[in-house]
Amino acid sequence: MDEPTDLSDLTTGDAEIIRGEALATMRELPTASFDALITDPPYCTGGTYSSDRVARTAHQKYTDSASSARQTLPDFGGDQRDQRSFTLWCTLWLTEALRLVRPGGQALVFTDWRQLPALTDAVQAAGWRWRGIVVWAKTSARPQPGFRNDCEYILWASNGIIDRDHQPPCLPGVYTVASARGRNRHHITAKPVDLMRYLVRTVRQDGRILDPFAGSGTTGVAALAEGRRFLGIEAAPAYAKIATQRLAE
Ligand SMILES: C[S@@+](CC[C@H](N)C(=O)[O-])C[C@H]1O[C@@H](n2cnc3c(N)ncnc32)[C@H](O)[C@@H]1O
């Protein structure tokens, strides 16, 4: 997490990963240089009580102790903010992201049920126009009394009015895609490539996508598969390496 921004980690071509801190790195990038922000930030969730959320590691929150994911996948930092600092921090990086996405471009930002109210506040406080919520039905969740929390959410927002030319056609608001598992799980909170491919298709062909919390690079893998360009930023060196390898493959 404390690694300095290292622009030498750039790969060449249509997809790049920068190993560095998101906000500091974004401040170095030129205004209006992206068509979309598509990102899955640390949720800072994973517990009923505030103490659960801030005291436990991402591994402890998001993997089972006996699982192979706990044994084989690296942990990551930045997931221990309390509620107020999470909202403030999201407002900071979402403000910077608004500068980087051209007018008329879009944002798609993942969150869960606990952080949905905080993130909708942050998106709007940062100056994005909030347009809706897309549901990812992930088909599985930990058992618990009452309703299963087997969905995550994607906030949809735009930088002002969406271009008429690039306005996506009418799309479903719910996507049912199984969570990444086994050999397809490259991050402890990985998103499935097939879900990300649906999302990147909302960006114009050859458009450039920013993911400042790239993790194992799933957004970039989907972007390349769909003929879009990509810049990812990732603070954890182990995940920046995995992402760079996946994009190279
Ligand atoms: C939820 S994960 C993204 C997982 C990704 N969607 C995937 O499928 O692999 C969030 C990532 O953000 C990274 N991160 C946390 N704080 C960061 C920061 N301030 N700057 C850059 N990356 C950060 C973490 O290391 C983690 O890998």
* Tens-digit pLDDT profile for residues 189-203: 899 999 999 999 999
pTM to 2 decimal places: 0.90
Q: Pull the structure tokens for residue 40.
A: 């899955």
Out of 213, 239, 245, mutate this one to test ligand 1's pocket (max ligand atoms within 8 Å of CB): namely: 213
Q: CB of 46 closer than 6 A to ligand 1?
A: no
**Whole-angstrom Cα distance, residue 81 to residue 223?**
30
Q: Which distant-in-sequence residues (6+ apart) come within 8 Å of 26 by Cβ? A: 93, 96, 97, 100, 210, 212, 233
Q: What pLDDT, in 10s, does the model give residues 28-42?
A: 999 999 999 999 999
Domains of the chain, each with CATH number or no CATH? 7-248 (3.40.50.150)
Does 4 score more than 60 pLDDT? Answer: no
**Whole-angstrom Cα distance, residue 75 to residue 114?**
21
Q: Pull the structure tokens for residue 67.
A: 């699982």
Q: CB of 233 closer than 6 A to ligand 1?
A: yes
Q: Kindly state the average pLDDT of the residues 166-171.
A: 81
pLDDT band at 47 (very low <50, low <70, confident <90, very high): low
Q: Kindly state the average pLDDT of the residues 139-143.
A: 84
**Whole-angstrom Cα distance, residue 237 to residue 19?**
7
Out of 76, 186, 242, 246, mutate this one to test ligand 1's pocket (max ligand atoms within 8 Å of CB): namely: 76
Q: How far is the CA of 164 from the centre of ligand 1 (A)?
A: 32
When comparing pLDDT for 7 and 182, which is higher? 182
Q: CB of 21 closer than 6 A to ligand 1?
A: yes
Does 20 score more than 60 pLDDT? Answer: yes
- Can you give the pLDDT at residue 90? 97
| Closest among 147, 135, 140 to 171, alpha carbons compared | 135
Q: Kindly state the average pLDDT of the residues 207-223.
A: 97
When comparing pLDDT for 64 and 211, which is higher? 211
Q: How far is the CA of 41 from the centre of ligand 1 (A)?
A: 6
Q: CB of 42 closer than 6 A to ligand 1?
A: yes
| Closest among 65, 24, 168 to 108, alpha carbons compared | 168
Does 121 score more than 70 pLDDT? Answer: yes
Q: How far is the CA of 21 from the centre of ligand 1 (A)?
A: 10
Radius of gyration of the CA atoms of the chain, in A: 17
Ligand 1 atom with least separation from CA of 93: 19
Does 117 score more than 90 pLDDT? Answer: yes
Residue 121: strand, helix, or coil: helix
Average pLDDT, the chain: 89
When comparing pLDDT for 64 and 238, which is higher? 238
